[in-house]
Amino acid sequence: MKTLKGFREFYPDPVPSRDAWSFSIRQWLFDTWRNTARQYGFVEYDGAPLEPLELYTQKSGEEIVNQLYNFKDKGDRDVALRPEMTPTLAKLVSQSATQYRKPLKWFSIPQLFRYERNQKGRLREHFQLNADIIGEEDPGADAELISFLIDVLRAVGLRKGDFVIRISSRTAWQDFYQKNGGHPDRSYDFYQAIDKMERVPEEVTSQSLEGTGISIGQVRDFIGRAEPVGDLAAVVDQLTQRGLSDFITVDYRIIRGLAYYTGVVFEAFDCSGKFRAIAGGGRYDNLVNQVSGGKVSMPALGFGMGDVVLTELLKDLGRLPDTAFKPDIYFAIEDESLRPQSLAAIQWFREQGFSVVFPITATKSDRQFKHATELQSTLLVHIDPLNPGQLTFKNLKTREKTTGPREQIHSLS
Amino acid sequence: MKTLKGFREFYPDPVPSRDAWSFSIRQWLFDTWRNTARQYGFVEYDGAPLEPLELYTQKSGEEIVNQLYNFKDKGDRDVALRPEMTPTLAKLVSQSATQYRKPLKWFSIPQLFRYERNQKGRLREHFQLNADIIGEEDPGADAELISFLIDVLRAVGLRKGDFVIRISSRTAWQDFYQKNGGHPDRSYDFYQAIDKMERVPEEVTSQSLEGTGISIGQVRDFIGRAEPVGDLAAVVDQLTQRGLSDFITVDYRIIRGLAYYTGVVFEAFDCSGKFRAIAGGGRYDNLVNQVSGGKVSMPALGFGMGDVVLTELLKDLGRLPDTAFKPDIYFAIEDESLRPQSLAAIQWFREQGFSVVFPITATKSDRQFKHATELQSTLLVHIDPLNPGQLTFKNLKTREKTTGPREQIHSLS
C-alpha cells in the first residue's frame, strides 16, 4: 500500500516521523502567504489542475513533455497535470481581462507536478505561491511585486541577514549582448550559460560562450560593475524609499534561464547558501500575447515561491512555529449520569466559537486529565458534581480554578 | 485555448460572468469548514492527489476504472487521480495509527476527480470536506460526527427548515433482511434497490427486488415504522441531548449504495428537495482492515460533503456572503513629488497589518477616488499637501475626515 515516489502526504501533529510533512505547517504557510497578499491587495484565483497538453507545449516546445505527467483521457484528449501556473494565468487573463481594472494583482497557491527522472530525493510535486501583476509597464509594478516578495519572507519569520533578493535585468543583458557584438541567433544559449554560471566550473561557462561572440572576461567585467540602469535603477530607488534596501542587491549573475523574460528579473536566496533559490521571477511582457495567440497584449511580471525550500530553510533556522492544534476546552465527564448535561454544555461552548474536546466513552478521571494536558488545552471544564447547574473551570497553565455558570467562559478567555 | 470540460476555474471578484466560480467564495467555504472542524477538535491531513490505481480497484473492483482519470506514468506505473479520499485515509491511518491517540478525528478538503461520460453539465472535479472518526465503536462517535455535520451546515448560513439529516441504519436493514428471509447472496442488490427507490418508479423497485426474497410491501412497512433501534436510538438520544433534534429525522429510505457501510448511515438534504444530497456518510467498520490487507483493524465512520451542491443551494437561498476583497486603506498620491514619502507610509501601514492599495503610476485625483470607492476601501488616506509630515484620513462610509500622524490609524480602526 505505497504512495507514489516523489509525492508527499501531510499528517496531523505530531507527525509520525521526523521527515514526515505536517499539514498544520503547510496551512500556516498558506495562511501567511494569503495574509501578506491581502496587505498588498493581491486577490486569489485558481485554475484546473489538469489542462490540455498544448497549453504547455505551445509555450515551452515539445521537449517539456518529457517532464510532464501527461496522458490521453477517456475522451482521447491529450491532457497534463499542471507543471507551472503561468500558462493557466495567461489563459484566464486573456479570457477575462476586459472585466477587471488594470493592473491586475493576482495570486494563486497551486500544487504543481513534474515528472523528474533519476533525481534522488527530488519531489515530483510541490505547492507554489504565484503572484503576478498584469497590465502595468511602469517599474513601480516591479517594485511593488518585489516588496511583496520581501514581506512574504519576513512574514514567515525570516529577517535581515537571513535572505537577500538578487535583482538583475534581462534588458541590461540584452543591451550588453548587442553592444558587444553577440550573435543575434545565439542569445538564448548565452542566457542559459549565464544562468548556469554559478553552478559550474569557469571552463564550462567559457565553452558555452564559444560562438556567441562574447568572452568570459567581458561577462565578468559587466557583472563586476553591478550598476543598476534604466528600469532596474527605478526599482532599486522605490524599494529604497520603502525602507527595504537591506533586503536587495543588484547582481547581474541573475538572468533567469527561461526564454520569455523581458525586463527586471530576480531571485531570492538564503544568505547561508545552503539551499536552492527560495523564489524567482521577473517581467514577461510578451507572454500573455503569445499564449492568447495574439488576441490580448499586456505587460506582465510575476514570481513563484515553492513550499519545499522555504519550509526546509525555516526548519534549518529553527523558525518553524508551533502550529499544532490546542483546544480551548477539554470537557471532562467524570460521572456518566452527567453525560447528557455535559453534551448540552459542550454544544453550547462550540456554538460560542470555542473548540472543545471530550471523552466519547466512559474514561477514568486521570486519563482524561492526562489527555487534556497532552493536548495543551487551555481550560479543563466539568460539571460540578455537588451543584450540577454549575461548571468548574480550571486553567491548565495557571492552575486557577473557578466555579460558575457556563457564561463565565467569556471572562476567562 | 480551452479549459477541459467538467473543470472549473475560480476567478477573483467580481467574477467575469454569472456562472463563473468565485475564488473568494470557495475560500470562505473552506475557512468555515476548517473553523467548525477546529471547534470539534478535528485535525486536518492531506494525501497525494495522484495514487497507485490499485488503491481504488482493490476496494471497489475493476469497474471503477471506467470512472477514473487513470494512466501509466513515465515509470510505467498505473496511477489515478483520486476519485475519493477514503482509501487514502485508510492508508495513512494504517501506516501511522500507533502514533496517535484514539479515536482519531481527522478531516481533509481534497479535490476529487471522476471521469463521467454523457452527463451534461456534470462536473468532473469537485472539492469535498471529508471528516472521519477512527478507532471508536461507541455510537457516541456517530453522534459527534453528525453533530459536526449539522454545525458545518449552520456555520455556512443554513437554518432549521433549510436542511435535514436523514438518519438510518445499515444494521437495522441487515436484521430486517435476514429475519424476513432475504437471500444471503443478493444483499448488495437489495441495498442498491433501496438506495435508488426514491429516484425511480415503484415498478422498477419491485423488479429490482425480485429474487431477493423480499417484497416491496415488506420494505414499505419497514420504512413506515421508522423506529430507531440499537445504536441508531443512542445516536438520536445524544443528538437530542445536544439540542439538535430539529435537524434530524429517522428515515429508513436512506441506506447508502456502497457495499462497505456497516452501521448508522445518513444523508443531508435541503428541505426544498431541489438539490441532490448535500452530504452523506456512515459507519464502515471493516474498511481499514480491508485496505490495510488485514494488518490494522479499527472501527471507523465518516462523511463527505461536496462544494458544488452546497454552493448552489446557498446561492439559491440568497445566503452567499459578500466575500470580495475590500482594502483597509486606499492611499492616494495626488502630487508625484510626494510618491517617495507615500511609499514609505504605505510600507509602514502594511507592516502594521493593514491592506493598502495605491496607484502605481501618476493618476488623476478623481480616478483615484473612484477606484477607492469601487473597491469599498474603508479609508482614503493621503499626505497632507500643506503639511507633508501629516496624513489626512477620510472614512469613505461616514465621510469623517481627520488629519494627524500615521499612528492615528490605530484610533480609527
- The answer to whether the Cβ–Cβ distance between A1 and B327 falls below 8 Å is no
Distances (CA, A) of B251 to A35, B141, B202, B214, B223: 45, 20, 18, 19, 7
Predicted local distance difference test score (pLDDT) of residue B412: 86
3-state SS class at A77: coil
Q: Is residue A75 part of a domain?
A: no
Helix (H) or strand (E) holding B112: strand B111-113
Interchain contact B13–A (C-beta under 8 A): yes
- The answer to whether the Cβ–Cβ distance between A52 and B2 falls below 8 Å is yes
The verdict on B302 and B352 lying in the same domain is no
Torsions phi, psi for B106 (to 5 deg): -120, 145
Q: Which residues of B touch A39 (CB under 8 A)?
A: 350, 353-356
The verdict on A300 and A370 lying in the same domain is no
Tell me which residues of chain B, numbers 355 to 394, contact chain A at a CB-CB cutoff of 8 Å: 355-357, 360-361, 371, 374
Give helix B230-241 / helix A339-351 axis angle, nearest 10°: 60
Q: What does the alpha-carbon distance between residue B371 and residue B374 come to, in Å, rounded to a whole number?
A: 5
Task: Report the chain B residue with the minimal C-alpha distance to residue A244.
Answer: B347
Task: Report the chain A residue with the minimal C-alpha distance to residue B2.
Answer: A52
Q: What is the mean pLDDT of residues B203-222?
A: 95
B12-44 b/e (C-beta count within 10 Å ≥ 16 → b): beebeeeeeebbbbbebbeebbbebbbbbbbbb
The verdict on A171 and A255 lying in the same domain is yes
User: Best interface-test mutation with A: which of B54, B74, B289 has the largest number of A CBs within 10 A?
Assistant: B74
- The answer to whether the Cβ–Cβ distance between A356 and B39 falls below 8 Å is yes
**ipTM of the complex as predicted:** 0.96
- The answer to whether the Cβ–Cβ distance between A292 and B355 falls below 8 Å is no
The verdict on A239 and A337 lying in the same domain is no
Q: How many residues can be counted in chain A?
A: 413
The verdict on A312 and A336 lying in the same domain is no
Q: How far is A96 from chain B (nearest CA, A)?
A: 6
Tell me which residues of chain A, numbers 304 to 363, contact chain B at a CB-CB cutoff of 8 Å: 325, 327, 339-341, 343-344, 346-347, 350-351, 353-357, 360-361
Q: Is residue B63 part of a domain?
A: no
In terms of residue numbers, what domain contains B359?
329-412
Q: Is residue A74 part of a domain?
A: no
- The answer to whether the Cβ–Cβ distance between A371 and B101 falls below 8 Å is yes
Tell me which residues of chain B, numbers 142 to 161, contact chain A at a CB-CB cutoff of 8 Å: 143-144, 147, 151
- The answer to whether the Cβ–Cβ distance between B38 and A73 falls below 8 Å is no
Q: What does the alpha-carbon distance between residue A293 and residue A153 come to, in Å, rounded to a whole number?
A: 36
User: Best interface-test mutation with A: which of B5, B8, B11, B348 has the largest number of A CBs within 10 A?
Assistant: B11
Instruction: Name beta bridge partners: B382.
Output: B392
Distances (CA, A) of A287 to A219, A298, A302: 27, 8, 11
The verdict on B407 and B362 lying in the same domain is yes
Interchain contact A11–B (C-beta under 8 A): yes
The verdict on A43 and A86 lying in the same domain is yes
The verdict on B269 and B401 lying in the same domain is no
- The answer to whether the Cβ–Cβ distance between A92 and B244 falls below 8 Å is no
Distances (CA, A) of B268 to A323, B32, B149, B252, B369: 32, 18, 9, 14, 47
Q: What does the alpha-carbon distance between residue A65 and residue A77 come to, in Å, rounded to a whole number?
A: 15
Tell me which residues of chain A, numbers 245 to 264, contact chain B at a CB-CB cutoff of 8 Å: none
Q: Contact at 8 Å (CB) between B303 and B145?
A: yes
- The answer to whether the Cβ–Cβ distance between A48 and B8 falls below 8 Å is yes
What pTM was computed for the model?
A: 0.96
Q: What does the alpha-carbon distance between residue B296 and residue B291 come to, in Å, rounded to a whole number?
A: 9
Task: Report the chain A residue with the minimal C-alpha distance to residue B135.
Answer: A360
Nearest to B180 by CA among B215, B206, B204, B210: B215
- The answer to whether the Cβ–Cβ distance between A136 and B16 falls below 8 Å is no
Distances (CA, A) of B100 to B94, B105, B106: 11, 10, 11
Estimate the share of chain B in helix, then strand, then coil, as percent rounded to the nearest 5. 40, 20, 40
Q: Is residue A5 part of a domain?
A: no
The verdict on B342 and B285 lying in the same domain is no
Of B12, B77, B241, the CB nearest to A340: B241
Give helix A230-241 / helix A139-155 axis angle, nearest 10°: 50
Give helix B187-196 / helix B170-179 axis angle, nearest 10°: 120
The verdict on A171 and A93 lying in the same domain is yes
- The answer to whether the Cβ–Cβ distance between B9 and A44 falls below 8 Å is no
- The answer to whether the Cβ–Cβ distance between B325 and A238 falls below 8 Å is no
Among the candidates B316, B341, B361, a domain finishes at: B316
* CB pairs < 8 Å spanning A and B: 228
Among the candidates B316, B345, B380, a domain finishes at: B316
Of B51, B143, B360, the CB nearest to A140: B360
Reported as a single tens digit per residue, the pLDDT across B261-299 is 999 999 999 999 999 999 999 999 998 888 788 888 999
Nearest to A87 by CA among A53, A120, A114, A119: A53
Per-residue DSSP letter, B210? T
Q: What does the alpha-carbon distance between residue A302 and residue A129 come to, in Å, rounded to a whole number?
A: 10
Torsions phi, psi for A41 (to 5 deg): 75, 20
Cα A247 to the center of its chain, rounded Å: 18
User: Best interface-test mutation with B: which of A13, A19, A32, A50 has the largest number of B CBs within 10 A?
Assistant: A50
Predicted local distance difference test score (pLDDT) of residue A2: 87
Task: Report the chain B residue with the minimal C-alpha distance to residue A241.
Answer: B340
Reported as a single tens digit per residue, the pLDDT across B388-405 is 899 999 999 999 999 999
Q: Is residue B375 part of a domain?
A: yes
Q: Contact at 8 Å (CB) between A226 and A252?
A: yes
Tell me which residues of chain B, numbers 43 to 102, contact chain A at a CB-CB cutoff of 8 Å: 43-52, 55, 66, 69, 71-75, 77, 79, 81, 91-92, 94-96, 99-101
Q: What is the CATH number of the domain that holds A284?
A: 3.30.930.10
- The answer to whether the Cβ–Cβ distance between B43 and A24 falls below 8 Å is yes
Q: Is residue B291 part of a domain?
A: yes
- The answer to whether the Cβ–Cβ distance between A44 and B38 falls below 8 Å is no
Q: How far is B103 from chain A (nearest CA, A)?
A: 9
Task: Report the chain B residue with the minimal C-alpha distance to residue A20.
Answer: B96
Q: How far is B402 from chain A (nearest CA, A)?
A: 23
Predicted local distance difference test score (pLDDT) of residue B247: 98
Reported as a single tens digit per residue, the pLDDT across B41-87 is 999 999 999 999 999 988 777 778 889 999 999 999 999 999 999 99
Q: Is residue A370 part of a domain?
A: yes
Average pLDDT, rounded, for chain B: 95
Interchain contact B3–A (C-beta under 8 A): yes
Residue A17 burial (C-beta neighbours within 10 Å; 0-12, 13-18, 19+): exposed
Interchain contact B24–A (C-beta under 8 A): yes
Estimate the share of chain A in helix, then strand, then coil, as percent rounded to the nearest 5. 40, 20, 40
Q: Is residue A63 part of a domain?
A: no
Predicted local distance difference test score (pLDDT) of residue B118: 61
Q: What is the CATH number of the domain that holds B391?
A: 3.40.50.800
Task: Report the chain A residue with the minimal C-alpha distance to residue B377.
Answer: A41
Interchain contact B12–A (C-beta under 8 A): yes
| Tens of pLDDT, residue by residue, chain A (413 residues) | 789 999 999 999 999 999 899 999 999 999 999 999 999 999 999 999 999 999 998 877 777 888 999 999 999 999 999 999 999 999 999 889 889 999 999 999 999 999 987 667 789 999 999 999 999 999 999 999 999 999 999 999 999 999 999 999 999 999 999 999 999 999 989 999 999 999 999 999 999 999 999 999 999 999 998 889 899 999 999 999 999 999 999 999 999 987 789 999 999 999 999 999 999 999 999 988 887 888 889 999 999 999 999 999 999 999 999 999 999 999 999 999 999 999 999 999 999 999 999 999 999 999 999 999 999 999 999 999 999 899 999 999 999 999 999 999 999 87
The verdict on A374 and A244 lying in the same domain is no
Largest CA distance in chain B: 93
Angle value at C-alpha B110, between B106 and B115, nearest 5 degrees: 135
Looking at the structure of chain A, the number of domains it has is 2
Torsions phi, psi for B387 (to 5 deg): -145, 85
Instruction: Name beta bridge partners: B132.
Output: B106, B302
Q: Which residues of A touch B354 (CB under 8 A)?
A: 39
Q: How many residues can be counted in chain B?
A: 413
Among the candidates A316, A343, A365, a domain finishes at: A316
Interchain contact A213–B (C-beta under 8 A): no
The verdict on B158 and B258 lying in the same domain is yes
Reported as a single tens digit per residue, the pLDDT across B69-78 is 999 999 999 9
